[in-house]
Structure 1
């Protein structure tokens, strides 16, 4: 297991400065880059621990605070264990932040994140991989479509609203994707009903995108997030196996 060093970095963007967590091998050896997109709860200790685990497997991992326009992380103060059913105000505070992430801003931010990784001496030359959780799966899908030359693989877990009826739905960018994709859907997820699962699968297949879409049984939306009431150990362990397998095939 690779020894891990973690630090906070600042990334200049078209709209300001995004703070981010960087996990990298302690010996400074360049490793393949992974851009980890957060869920709606934001950059916090659990996501830093996820980045550290990926780095221990041999990668340099960047976790940007995608809500940086509203402040440095934590943008919203949350308890150590997040349970929206115990505090309904959590989503009242988070919803305005989600609305700041338009497709245009997502693409512009991805330029900055991927450019920073390309310039870092801690990242090996070549394209990078993405992994995203909840809304982060949506960001990963959009980034794979807008930056095909920079993204070799992308994974999304318990993603929501991936294939809606909206004219700017993420799945509509499938024709631009050159990366291999993996999605681990939650089967108890109101934000991604079966209709959207089929629409995503059909779009990726029609575009000739290398992909795997799997539905995790009895898994709730958020099953990988151990600091929330949605956590499911079985789904989380399956997610780690699938993600590390994808990265191993890619690099």
Structure 2
């Protein structure tokens, strides 16, 4: 599986990024993958390679590039619960500084770069995100309704920008929520907003999960839920993206 370390030009500098894609010399649909707050690291590279193996060019940008190359905080090989509070405390100012305006400006650059790669086809793209990356994915899809045909978010604050953002989404959508992130009542409210916005979606709570369940290098990891994530994500992309 070919991989590349890249630098994406943006108005505020160059964002380091990781890409994985099939080794067949063909052009493939593009997928913009937003990491969780811990950023690009071996676990995320493995997820990108896994998705690329299904026939996609996967680009994972370091959205905290303004603070330096990934990882922007020191990470151990395994992120245990005892280390999480201190790491989150370090990252929270970066998250708060990453405004909606910054997200959209960066998304413009990321998508322009992604679709210009010689291994990427000319059709629509998908955006997927994890944790805070899920909010960035929603904002990207809302800002680029003609270009983003599929949107998938896992354990992310998808409704943080309110119903107006959902109304701008034209992509097919899957939201996979952690039990600890969303109550059944809140899920009902979110899904009602998606219905009102006319979004083509599935949105569900993954049983027995806590926030971060897809991340294999953390204590919150849930192997069954990660498989469920792939079982939703890959078919969504397969039925939505066309390789032109």
Pairwise TM-score range, normalised by the shorter structure: over 0.9
Cα distance change on mapping 1:86 and 1:176 into 2, 3 Å: closer
TM-score by length of 1: 0.92
State yes or no: 1:188 paired with 2:196: no
Report the Cα offset of residue 90 of structure 1. 1.3
SS in 1 for 2:207: strand
Is 1:208 aligned to residue 198 of structure 2?
Answer: yes
- Which structure 2 residues correspond to residues 28-43 of structure 1 after superposition, within 5 A? 28-43=25-40
The answer on 1:67 being equivalent to 2:64 is yes
Q: What is the CA distance between 1:195 and its match in structure 2?
A: 4.8
Measured in 2, the distance between the counterparts of 1:146 and 1:195 equals 28
Is 1:163 aligned to 2:159, yes or no? yes
Q: State the distance in 2 between where 1:239 and 1:196 align.
A: 20
Report the 3-state secondary structure (helix = DSSP H, G, I; strand = E; otherwise coil) of the residue aligned with 1:220: coil
Q: 1:27: how far off?
A: 3.1
1:89 correspondence with 2:89: no
Cα drift, residue 200 of structure 1 = 2.2
Aligned to 1:179: 171
Q: Which runs of 5+ in 1 are unaligned?
A: none
Aligned length: 241
Deviations 1:114-171 (A, max 9, x none): 00112111101111001111111111111111110110000001113x324xxxx154
- Find 1:9's aligned residue among 6, 16, 19: 6
C-alpha RMSD over aligned residues: 1.4
CA distance in 2, matches of 1:113, 1:195: 35
Unpaired stretches in structure 2, ≥5 consecutive residues: none
2:151 to 149, 154, 163: 154
Question: What is the alpha-carbon distance in structure 2 between the residues aligned to residue 43 and residue 112 of structure 1?
Answer: 18
Which has the bigger relative contact order, CA under 8 A and spacing at least 6?
2
Distance in structure 1 (CA, Å) of the matches to 2:154 and 2:106:
21
Q: Distance in 1 between matches of 2:83 and 2:27?
A: 43
Whole-Å Cα distance in 2 between the matches of residues 163 and 57 of structure 1?
Answer: 29
TM-score (norm 2): 0.94
Change in CA separation of 1:40 and 1:91 when aligned onto 2, cut-off 3 Å: same
Would you say the 8 A contact 2:187–2:204 is kept in 1?
Answer: no
Does structure 2 conserve the Cα–Cα contact (< 8 Å) formed by 1:15 and 1:69?
yes
The offset of 1:30, in angstroms, is 0.9
SS in 2 for 1:77: coil
- Identify which of 211, 227, 240 aligns with 2:230: 240
